[in-house]
Copies of this chain bind each other. A is one copy, B any other.
């Protein structure tokens, strides 16, 4: 079905913005003068941990389900996800009175599984190594007539996540800022390419980057090769939200067209970025949510004399892991 749809445009993203406006939170764009002083530039942090369900994923899920026909909504939806898409779909389904079944990895953070169930969704677990989650979900979709909601490679999902683009441009304007660049975390690429699609149309001078964890830099390597490249492993970064095996067909096409590149940060750098988000911005960032900040803090993109918007994409992290990050000696230099 999705392969019949054209690539999403800035207009599609504007329409998605209107569709989700009453339900999604317009999360704040945070700024800290002390951090700016130390960086010698202006860092604007988009705080999507404060989004409904604790991550940006609600945007795409709500944009998707709200476009289903009444008959499709009655038949229900099915999704596969390491956790944030799961919660986004479950909550959007609850609000739109649609039954959701979610296929989640058995090692997903407990908080993500619990929250998915709390929104009323049915959860089915799978093994990241042995099982094919997409096959499990598609089989369910065929058997029960449910609509599958892909985590990233669908124009409606990409358009929903992309609504962050116009939002940060508008918020930056209110703050008297013109964005030199936007960096967004990247797993399958729905968020980073959605944002880039909107931003390049509305503010062509603004550069757009994805950010990936080291060892899971499939998009960076795909852009370099000109063809879709896969990650060597399916587990092994503590950025549990960013372990998609490769870019999607839609997201790769958009990445080649609109992204200026994909930056990479190590787990160690991500931990330090989480600590900075805690200490200076008072928000809870999960590992995958902090990877764009980690890239910025570690000089993957120069900020001196410039204004850079970093998307912090989610905050669904277990307390024990967060405590270990704060206890470890990994303060960012900033």
19 sampled A-B residue pairs with Cβ under 8 A: A25-B28, A28-B28, A28-B50, A30-B50, A34-B115, A47-B50, A49-B282, A50-B283, A54-B282, A111-B279, A278-B319, A279-B319, A282-B315, A320-B326, A322-B323, A322-B326, A323-B323, A323-B326, A323-B327
Nearest residue (CB) in B for A95 is B33
Which single member of B54, B119, B283 contacts A284 (CB below 8 Å)? Answer: B283
How far apart are A68's CB and chain B's nearest CB, in angstroms? 21
Interface of A is mostly: helix
Identify which of A30, A320, A322, A323 gathers the most chain B CB atoms within 10 Å of its CB.
A323
* Number of copies of chain A assembled together: 2
Instruction: Answer whether A319 and B326 are a contact pair too, CB < 8 Å, given A54-B282, A284-B284.
Output: yes
Contact with B along A183-207 (1 / 0, CB 8 A): 0000000000000000000000000
- A96 CB-CB contact with B under 8 Å: no
- A153 CB-CB contact with B under 8 Å: no
Which residues in B have their C-beta under 8 angstroms from that of A34? Answer: 115, 118-119
A27 to B282, CA, bound (A): 12
Which residues in B have their C-beta under 8 angstroms from that of A91? Answer: 33
How far apart are A235's CB and chain B's nearest CB, in angstroms? 24
Nearest residue (CB) in B for A315 is B282
How far apart are A290's CB and chain B's nearest CB, in angstroms? 12
How far apart are A195's CB and chain B's nearest CB, in angstroms? 20
Which residues in B have their C-beta under 8 angstroms from that of A212? Answer: none
- A240 CB-CB contact with B under 8 Å: no
